[in-house]
Amino acid sequence: MTSHSQPRGVGALQRWFFERVTGAADVTDAGEERAVLGGELPAQARVDIYRRAYAARLIECLADDYPAVAHVLGASAFEMTCRAFIASNPPPSASLNFYGAPFAAFCGAPGRLPEGGFVAELARLEWALVEVIHADAEMTLDPTKLAAATEDERPRLRLVPSPALRVLRCDYPVHRYYQQFVEHAAVGVPERVACGVAVCRRGDDVWRFGLEPVWLDLLERIRDGAPLESALGALEGAGDGEALQRTFSEWVSAGFFADVAMD
Amino acid sequence: MTTAPSWSTSAPATRIPALAIGVGLRSNHYEHILRESPDVAWFEVLSDNYMHTRGRPLAFLDRITARYPVALHGVGLSIGSVDPLDRAYLDELCVLRERTGAGWVSDHIAWTGVNGKHGHDLYPVPFTEECLRHIARRVLQAQDILDAPLVLENPSTYLQFAGSTLSEPEFIAALLEETGAGLLLDVNNVYVNAVNHGFDPFAYLRQLPLGRVVQLHLAGHSVVAAPGPDGQSATHLIDTHAGPVAPEVWALFEEAVCLGARAPVLLEWDAEIPSFDRVHAEALRAREHIDRALAAAGRRRGERSPRLAARQPSAGGAP
């Protein structure tokens, strides 16, 4: 940071104004304090333009990041939830790219929303989609590196997950719900069912995969750094080798892995 | 009052010719631009959208900057804030400028937050000597980090602070003079402020150092009616960047060009964004206004040179 001294008059004015814009203070003293020039449009109404814009911009940002949550809550409840979120989470950064990061946890706080557990999981999925869009997806696994590993190397070989991969363990089928939302077919809150979802970007394309528990376990082990052989060794109930081959091929094509590494 | 900049105060070098007409780059036009390669002179890139990301927005931007010249335009520098200047923000801006080969970097004469909190809006500054010194010092600091002149935009505002002792154009002119920064003249903002604060926008233009204009902005605005103090409806304008450019703004644009603003021109369209072709067609309307303004400038020069005019043969050929 650059050293600086605050100009007192400007600083006091900015703090006074910002408290009113962000709702921390009432705007009714705008004209009385003679801080703001009125005229045809009263001083209070002028400050109010900025106050309304502050909330509107942040709600718009959250709506961009969480369209499915907005759908399941309905417009009015979504706006109320956003306003409560904004009040307790003033933007901490000059960038809005990651403003919505704590929204899933906020929605899932006990007693905050009816069906809060489902809403929070849906929000986690939507946030994963935001994160992979902004993540580096430059490197993707060259499958020939896998084939080139020697017998000695194979027990130590592990796959490096792409920075643009997110793996979520869920109590609700949010992947299925989200797909229905995209197809304009989403209905009510689904029943609980343990499952997983993987989200990944490769190039311009963002992929979303629903994962049965067995594949979720495998992918989590690989993501967490287990050598590939031991991760596969722990695999049970995945069916035949053909299913494994097909699943792996899909994961590699979608860019789940950036490279191989040796322990 | 402040130390002189160490580099030239002339307009920054650029591949974008004066009065070339560009369009603000928006994500919903990426695919059209890459597929159709429209004949656009240049794009303005909203720098904040490509900072704090290593992902898809940058990948699209790389492909577009490989084909078109660009300039960077930001909203997050908060040059007017009393918070410390954000060094990390400026460093990232430098990286983005290198990556895009942008002709210049612009932001607004405004502040966006205080006490470490961000409002993500462009808040007005008081036009006082104290504020002028404060912002000038920060502009010089920013320019040292960027190693180039900043280009500063006159923002749209909906209020003015009672303690101001300078007019807006006086404040801007002094700031540019102190710092060597360039001016991004947003003609729509001049008109919006003129209506909202009740001043003559043409007189405002005449008070600005138009030779320092590095870029011109055009945009649409929204007209809003609200209850006034006497219960009557009080109309004000909001700088929404929605819809076509208003006739009053085109007239003001012509006057700015006529008075000597010779810089690349850009249309911003940010709300209810239509197809790329519609946005581009609106931007290209600037061409007829530029031609008219240049013709008017020629006539005015002629009117100001009576001796030269007297030497021209009259229509009847008599000496």
Partner-chain contact A9 B128, CB within 8 Å = yes
Cα distance from B48 to chain A (closest Cα, Å)? 7
Which residues in chain B touch residue A47, judged by CB atoms under 8 angstroms apart?
159
Q: How far apart, in Å, are the Cα atoms of B35 and each of A195, B31, B114?
A: 39, 6, 43
Task: Say whether residue B5 is in contact with chain A using an 8 A CB cutoff.
Answer: no
Option in A14, A46, A135 nearest B114 (CB): A14
Q: What is the pLDDT of residue A237?
A: 61
Q: Does A96 touch chain B (CB under 8 A)?
A: yes
Helix, coil or strand: residue B302: helix
How high is the ipTM of this complex? 0.89
Left (φ > 0), alpha (ψ -120 to 50) or beta: where does A39 sit?
left
What is the per-residue pLDDT for B119? 97
Q: CA B239, CA B222: separation in Å to the nearest integer?
A: 7
Fill in the DSSP letter of residue B242.
Answer: B
Amino acid at B187: V
Subunit contact A204:B227, Cβ cutoff 8 A = no
Inter-chain touch A18–B55, beta carbons under 8 Å: no
Q: Using a CB–CB cutoff of 8 Å, tell me whether B158 touches chain A.
A: yes
What integer pLDDT is reported at residue A39 of this predicted model? 73
Q: CB contacts < 8 Å between A and B, how many?
A: 164
Is B247 exposed, middle or buried, given 0-12, 13-18 or 19+ CB atoms closer than 10 A?
A: exposed
Looking at every residue in chain A, the average pLDDT score rounds to: 91
CB distance from B231 to chain A under 8 Å? no
Query: Residue A46: which of B283, B195, B157 has the closest Cα?
Result: B157
Q: How far apart are the first and last CA of chain A?
A: 40
Contact A90 B227 (CB under 8 A): no
> How would residue B9 be classed by pLDDT, with cut points 50, 70 and 90?
very low
> What are the beta bridge partners of residue B268?
B219
Tokens of residue B98, six digits: 């290198």
Residue of A nearest to B159 (CA): A46
Residue A30: the pLDDT is 64
Give which of B19, B105, B22, B15 is closest to B276, Cα–Cα. B22
- What is the SS3 assignment for B70? strand
Torsion angle of C-alpha atoms B45, B49, B50, B54, degrees rounded to 10 = -160
Q: Which pLDDT does position B132 carry in this prediction?
A: 98
What is the DSSP secondary-structure string of B304-317?
T-HHHHHHSPPTT-
Nearest alpha-carbon partner for B282 in B264, B295, B269: B269
- Give the CA dihedral A249, A250, A252, A256, nearest 10 degrees: -150
Burial B105-121 (b: 16+ CB within 10 A, else e): bbbbbbbbbbeeebbbb
CA distances from A54 to A95, A263, B81, B226 (A): 14, 50, 17, 19
Q: Does A16 touch chain B (CB under 8 A)?
A: no
Q: Look at residue B44 and tell me whether its pLDDT is greater than 80.
A: yes
Sequence-distant (6+) residues with CB within 8 A of A154 are A228, A229
Q: Report CA B7 to chain centroid distance, whole Å.
A: 22
**Token representation of residue B236:** 């004000």
Task: Give B 290-319 residues with CB within 8 A of chain A.
Answer: none
**Secondary structure letter of residue B29 according to DSSP:** G
What is the C-alpha end-to-end distance of chain B, expressed in Å?
A: 57
Contacting residues of A for B112, CB less than 8 Å apart: 94
The half-sphere exposure of B220 on its side-chain side, counting CA atoms within 13 A, is 16
Q: Which residue has the higher pLDDT, B13 or A167?
A: A167
Determine the pLDDT at residue A174. Answer: 96
| pLDDT per residue as tens digits for the range A176-205 | 999 999 999 977 899 999 999 999 999 999
Chain B contact set for A91 (CB, 8 A): 113, 117-120
The answer to whether the Cβ–Cβ distance between A10 and B56 falls below 8 Å is no
Q: Which residues of A132-166 are buried (b: 16+ CB within 10 A; e: fewer)?
A: bbbbebeebbeeeebeebeeeeeeebbbebbbbbb
The verdict on B229 touching A (C-beta cutoff 8 Å) is yes
Condensed to tens digits (0 to 9), the pLDDT of residues A16-55 reads 999 999 987 776 766 656 577 777 888 888 999 999 999 9
Mean pLDDT of the region B45-63: 95
- Best of A3, A10, A19 to disrupt the B interface (most B CBs within 10 Å) is A10
**A134 CA: distance to closest CA in chain B (Å):** 4
Would you call B119 an interface residue with chain A, using a CB distance cutoff of 8 Å? yes
Q: Is the pLDDT of residue B12 over 70?
A: no
Cβ atoms of B181 and B213 within 8 Å: the answer is no
Please name the member of B52, B118, B159 whose beta carbon is closest to the beta carbon of A36: B159
What sign has the CA pseudo-torsion A118, A124, A128, A129? positive
**Distance from C-alpha of A101 to C-alpha of A106, rounded to nearest angstrom:** 10
- Specify the 3-state DSSP secondary structure of B50: helix
Q: Do B119 and A35 touch (CB under 8 A)?
A: no
Q: What is the DSSP letter of A162?
A: P
